[in-house]
Amino acid sequence: MKDLKDYVTTIPDFPEPGVMFRDVTSVIQDAEGLRLAIDSLVEAVGDPDEIDVIAGTESRGFIFGMPVAYILNKPFAMVRKKGKLPRETVSREYDLEYGKAAIEMHKDSVKPGQKVVIIDDLIATGGTVEAAISIIEELGGEVTKCVFLMELAGLKGRERLKDYDVESVICYEGK
């Protein structure tokens, strides 16, 4: 069986010179790659008896988080872009490279005392997940782990989330 890294396509100089873009779509377009990715994330989550909810950030966190929630028989909480959820929400702004963005969750998606694992495809700077953590904690949840399929260590997202248990399946040293 191939290593998960073998399914990731790297595109040099995208979106700008010097950047090595790690394309996750090549993983999900291959049945074996997708199975390996999901199985690896389930393993990284750990003991299902220690968690109550899987949360995933829009949109690739949905792709990877939903099957993990299904396999572990846990509910899935969506972290969406602002304005996409129909009921009462809690919202957070966070910084982008050139501006700001906002995410939100339904107020009832995490209940006080619930233990939450956040899943996403990539940790870069950590800003999106930091905002998601803030919402989950405001709702009374406890983030017990943040699990990523890939990590760009050069962007130091792990340092930003230093107070949390962060695990990545694949780690790339650069940006």
* DSSP-assigned letter for residue 18: T
The question of whether 130 is a catalytic residue gets the answer no
Whether the Cβ atoms of residue 124 and residue 92 lie closer than 8 Å to each other: no
Calculate the CA dihedral of residues 140, 76, 82, 87 and round it to 10 degrees. -80
Q: Please pick, among 58, 60, 142, 160, the residue that the annotation labels catalytic.
A: 60
- Residue with token string 């990590």: 151
Residues in the chain: 175
Q: Of these residues, 16, 88, 97, 173, which one is catalytic?
A: 97
Buried b (16+ CB within 10 A) or exposed e, 108-144: ebbeeebebbbbbbbbbbbbbbbbbbebbeebebebb
Active site residue 97: yes
Instruction: Give the list of residues 6+ apart from residue 107 with CB closer than 8 angstroms, or none.
Output: 87, 88, 89, 90, 139
Q: Which residues are catalytic?
A: 60, 97
